Structures are given as C-alpha cells and as structure tokens.
Structure 1
C-alpha cells in the first residue's frame, strides 16, 4: 500500500494585492499553486471578491487590512499570513504614487511616500525574514520598483526618490538576509493608466516601446513568479518594460502622447 503524503501550498503575501497589478500577481501566484494573503488598505470589496475566487481554486487565502504607513502594520500582515501555513514569498507591490516636483514637494507628502514605498517594505522584510527563521525554512522577497530608475526624469520627485532608496535597499537586504531569504526586484514600465493620464494618452504611448508593445500586469506577475522560483538569484533588479528604459524623455511617460522612436525609425 502506497502512503499518500499531503503537502501544503506555499504562502505568499501580496501588498496592495486586491487591485491593478497586485490583483494580477495574486491570481498568477494562485494559478501556480500558492496560497495568498491579500493585503489591502481600502479595497475591502475587491479583496474579498478576489479571496473568494482563489478559495474556489482550492487554495488557502485570507485578507489583511492595514495602512502600511502606520506602525505595527507589517507585523500584523505577516501574522495574518502565518495563519495560512508556511510562508514562502513576500511581494512588496503596494506604493504611494502622487505627483510632486523639486519645486513644490512638501515634508508631509515626502514622508508619506517614504513611509509607504520604503519603510513599509523594509519593515515587512524584517518580519517576513523572522517568520522564515522561526519556520526553519527559506523564502524570497520581490520588491516592485519602476523603469524610471533607468530612465530618469524629474516628475514624481518624492516617489522616484523612494524607489531609488528601495532599489538600493534590495541589494542591502539580499546581503543581510541571506541565506534564509533571497531578495530581488522587478522594475515595470508603464502598465496601467495612472494618475491624471487619460485613456487616450495611455493608448498612444503604451505600445510605443522598442518591442512595439506595452507591459501588462501579467508580464509583471510572471517575472515575480520567475524570481520566486530562481534559487540562485538574489540582489537582482529585473526590468519588465519592453525596452521603455531605452527611450529617454524629459517628462514621465504618462505625460507623453507623441511617438517614442523605435529601431526602424532611426
């Protein structure tokens, strides 16, 4: 008689996991066999609908509400996720994306962006690493950055600084948290309509990269899944932008509605 050994799915935490790119990431991880802890701030209805969909796939799932800029949020999220089973992956997807410039940024606005885009991922990484150590297992973290880091322009001043800081922190964390935890990042290009961008502007610039297509939420999700399953990769930043970083601009791409030159235009 052959003994059946039951295995439990690995558990992933996805911050901002209920909507937009986070939703695509949550669904891709579930399709790959992960249980998911869906963090949200205000999108309770979306989070519950998504949780029901993942539960219907026969996978463990829960939601965790938290304002990432508040003390104790990271510890709460990791604690909720641990109730599902063995933690394996943390995706720091959530971010604050508000326009400012070097001329008009405010201390309050800057601190809000840094709290959400830098301090929260660092705090989550710390508690996630501690949980892995307690479990006696290894796992990985994937931070979401932005192709703006390779294609710099002054728009979204505080946001960009916070992502530069998170990029360098990715390398520091990879060094410090090894061998228990690998830490990597993906840097998406323009993926969804953002800020004050109109649908017409988005449609005009989204496919006008060297690859003649725009980044999709699933492109980002599959890159995260790749890094989560790549045991020899840590401290890496993977651009997922269809080459958008090779089209320098004085303004953020969301303000463009003109053609970005590709190889055959030269």
Structure 2
C-alpha cells in the first residue's frame, strides 16, 4: 500500500485528513507532538476500517526530531509518497508586540518543517513513483489583516514556497496547497458565537472537515495539478475584514486566543 504522512493527525482536521486518506487505501503515518493518546486513537480508527497506521512523535520545531521521525517512518512503514502538512502553530500576536521567540517558533513549525519534511520525502521516493505534497494554508492569505501577525507571515511564506517547490521538483513530485476558511470552534468561544461567525460567508455556512478532506483527496488524485492553492472557504475570502474573523464576536484578543492544544478556527491543523 502507498504511505501517506499526515502531520497533526491526532486531533481536529489532521485526524479527519488521516481517516480520509486511509479510506482511499493509504497506510498512514500519524504524526503527533504531545497528543499521544489521541494519535493512538486515530491509529485504532484506521485499523477498524481495515487499514494500517502507526503513530510517530516529533516536535516540528526541532529539525532533529523531523530527521528521526522520517527515518522511523521509512523503517516501519516504508518510504512515503504523500505528505499532508496539516500541523500548525497559531498563536496571537501583532506587529507591535511580536517577540523573537514567537516569530522563530511560527517560522520553524509552519514554514521550515513542511519544507524539511517534503525534502526528505522527495529524496526517498522510489524510482517511477510520483510524490505528492499538500500544504494547509489559510483563506486569511487572500484577505490580509494584521491579526495573528507572525502566524500569517509564516503561512505567506509557505504559500510562496508551494509554488517554488512545485517548479523545482516537477515531475518527480507535485506540490499543492489547500486554504480553508473558518472550520472549528476554538479557545473559549461559545458554540453560539462560533455558529454566528461560521455562517458569515457568501454561501451561508462555514468550512467543514469533509470539505477540506474532499479538496485534499482531489489534489492527491489530480496528476495534472501542481503549484496550485485551492481555497476551501465557502467564499469567506471574498468578504473583506479589517480584523481576523475570530474578532467578529469579541473585542478581547485574550478571549479570542486559541486554546493551547490546537490552532484557531481558520487553521485546519494543530501542533499536537
């Protein structure tokens, strides 16, 4: 069976993407950082579907962890041909209060790690096998505002890198991206608050996990597509906003800040 690596696959959107890829016949390398029990649950769910999966731990901000994980995946599952970079760090800061630490961490996890993982995957591709890399971005990139400043900068970098890498590695590997809109409730946001902002799109609803999974599945199969960014946001990017969508129902950055165990609504992955 072909092998797919899904980062942040223990929780949230990453878990949904891992299950979707398993349904399509892939053995799954389930990456996690600290959510070991959740990653093991994803593995059990894949196995219950008749598929094969294994958990692999790595802090994506640490280059040595990435090297060790990729070597472990090769040994235990075989060389991967598909990489879905779902894991992401999503911390709140602004242009006037970001720190060197938050900047470096966002860049390491959200930009350097996806490229490092892709580099190793491409190096290990068997002869005659075309690889596939899919990066998860954010509709925010089409509708810029200064909230989540260093997070947004890291995703802008990954958007540019998607096109550059696609040029550099074709035809050996295809590289594309999906840019989801508001997807999941986050932080101390109530279900009512989330439902209100989730529906504030031209289509009258927000992005769902299945929508993102469908887009990823399409890009995995679409052998004529590379260097593309596919918005999956129900048209959210078409509605200009001065602030991040998280602030539509609150004026408090701390209230809108995402929980420590994953990203905010706009981001489909998680750093666990």
Q: TM-score, normalised by structure 2?
A: 0.88
More off after superposition, 203-212 vs 94-103: 203-212
Residues 11 and 88, structure 1, Cα contact 8 Å, conserved in 2: yes
Structure-1 residue corresponding to 2:87: 94
Distance 1:24 1:55 in 2: 14
Distance 2:195 2:160 in 1: 32
Structure-2 residue corresponding to 1:155: 147
Structure-2 residue corresponding to 1:201: 193
More off after superposition, 72-81 vs 225-234: 72-81
Structure-2 residue corresponding to 1:5: none
Structure-2 residue corresponding to 1:103: 96
Match of 2:241 among 226, 244, 249: 249
User: Does 1:165 find its partner at 2:165?
Assistant: no
Distance 1:109 1:86 in 2: 33
Structure-2 residue corresponding to 1:48: 40
Comparing both chains, which one has the higher relative contact order based on Cα–Cα distances under 8 Å and sequence gaps of 6 or more?
Answer: 2
Match of 1:121 among 110, 114, 139: 114
C-alpha displacement of 1:114: 0.4
3-state DSSP of counterpart to 1:38: strand
Structure-1 residue corresponding to 2:260: none
Distance 1:77 1:31 in 2: 24
Residues 201 and 255, structure 1, Cα contact 8 Å, conserved in 2: no
Larger Rg: 1
Distance 2:243 2:191 in 1: 18
C-alpha displacement of 1:21: 0.4
1:221-240 alignment to 2 at 5 Å? 221-240=213-232
Distance 2:83 2:69 in 1: 11
Listed as ranges, the gaps of 5+ residues in structure 1 are 1-8, 259-266
Structure-2 residue corresponding to 1:31: 23
3-state DSSP of counterpart to 2:193: helix
Distance 1:254 1:25 in 2: 24
1:209-265 superposed Cα distances (whole Å, 9 cap, x missing partner): 10111101111111111101100000000000000001111110011139xxxxxxx
Q: How many aligned positions are there?
A: 249
Q: TM-score, normalised by structure 1?
A: 0.90
More off after superposition, 228-237 vs 79-88: 79-88
1:38-76 superposed Cα distances (whole Å, 9 cap, x missing partner): 000011001111101111222221111000000222222
Decide whether aligned partners of structure 1 residues 102 and 197 sit closer, same or farther in structure 2, where only a CA change above 3 A counts.
Answer: farther
User: Does 1:77 find its partner at 2:69?
Assistant: yes
C-alpha displacement of 1:135: 4.8
Structure-1 residue corresponding to 2:5: 13
Distance 2:199 2:37 in 1: 32
1:212-227 alignment to 2 at 5 Å? 212-227=204-219
Structure-1 residue corresponding to 2:256: none
1:77-110 superposed Cα distances (whole Å, 9 cap, x missing partner): 3223323135221000001000000010001110
Match of 1:177 among 129, 149, 169: 169
3-state DSSP of counterpart to 1:68: coil
Residues 74 and 124, structure 1, Cα contact 8 Å, conserved in 2: yes
Listed as ranges, the gaps of 5+ residues in structure 2 are 251-272
Structure-1 residue corresponding to 2:269: none
C-alpha displacement of 1:32: 1.4
Kindly report structure 1 stretches of 4+ aligned residues shifted beyond 4 Å: none
